[in-house]
Amino acid sequence: MRITVLTGAGISAESGLATFRASDGLWESHRITDVATPEGFAADPALVHRFYTMRRANAAAAQPNAAHLALADLARRHDLTLVTQNVDDLHERAGSPDVIHMHGTLTGALCAACGHRWPAPPVMCPGDPCPACGRPATRPDIVWFGEMPYHMERIWNALDQSDLFAAIGTSGNVYPAAGFAQHARRRGVECVELNLDASANARDFHHRITGPASRTVPEWAV
């Protein structure tokens, strides 16, 4: 069976990583517009680098939970395309072989001038030179609001060719990810949502499994 799974911050919540929604739109006590937009980075790159340095350290200290492990096991038994909105590497560390990070990764650095990518150092500062072109245009390799998510063509194709689409731990507030269920459903794909509570796009799913991902995902992914 061909399955496409989309995960959000909720799958990493039981690993101790903050979700966007739980903090009432404040993220680790920062306003989204200040830390997750190109305008915010232009206005205060040091603040944004500090925000991602802190999240990079939190992610490195976290461990994958049973939900991440269950998805890694699912990939060994089915044709699974795993798409995540998350920028942590817990899916990889759980053993998932081919994770599509549509919003980028905490472990990546990007040169805004030449497009060069390299592994992010633990701490990044404004003006750090790009190792390829030398220009002081280093930024986190993260897709901010208003920027085009990565790998979209591959994701749309996977949704079109799937028998089943599952969204796990996402509030369904952020597009285009929040539109995946409607896209799939229109193509006759069975859609299921596994979440702690009803998402903003719950109506797009045929089925809903409510509860913490560390319990619901292993039970579902048999």
* 38 cis-preceded (ω within 30 degrees of 0): no
Which one of 2-10, 71-79, 129-137, 181-189 is the stretch in contact with ligand BV8 (CB under 6 A)? 2-10
45 binds ligand BV8 (CB under 6 A): no
Stretch that binds ligand BV8, among 72-80, 114-122, 166-174, 185-193 (CB under 6 A): 166-174
Q: Please, what is the minimum distance in Å from the beta carbon of residue 88 to ligand BV8?
A: 9
Query: Could you tell me if 181 and 208 are in contact, meaning their C-beta atoms sit under 8 angstroms apart?
Result: no
DSSP string of 4-68, one letter each residue: EEEE-THHHHTTTPPPTGGGTTEETTEEHHHHSSHHHHHH-HHHHHHHHHHHHHHHHH----HHH
- Given 111, 181, 212, 221, the residue binding ligand BV8 (CB under 6 A): 212
Establish if 40 lies at the interface with ligand BV8 (CB under 6 A).
Answer: no
**Do residues 165 and 184 touch, judged by C-beta distance below 8 A?**
yes
**Does 185 appear as a known binding residue?**
no
Residue in the block written with tokens 């061909």: 2
Nearest CB to ligand BV8, comparing residues 2 and 156: 156
- 151 lines the binding site for ligand BV8 (CB under 6 A): no
Active-site residue, 91 included: no
CA–CA gap between residue 190 and residue 211 (Å, rounded): 20
Name which of 13 and 74 has its Cβ closer to ligand BV8.
13
Of the candidate residues 73, 108, 128, 173, the single one contacting ligand BV8 (CB under 6 A): 173
Binding segment for ligand BV8 among 12-20, 38-46, 119-127, 158-166 (CB under 6 A)? Answer: 12-20
> What is d(CA 22, CA 173) in angstroms, rounded to the nearest whole number?
13
Binding mask 51-70 for ligand BV8 (x = CB under 6 A): --------------------
C-alpha–C-alpha distance, residues 47 and 37, integer Å: 12
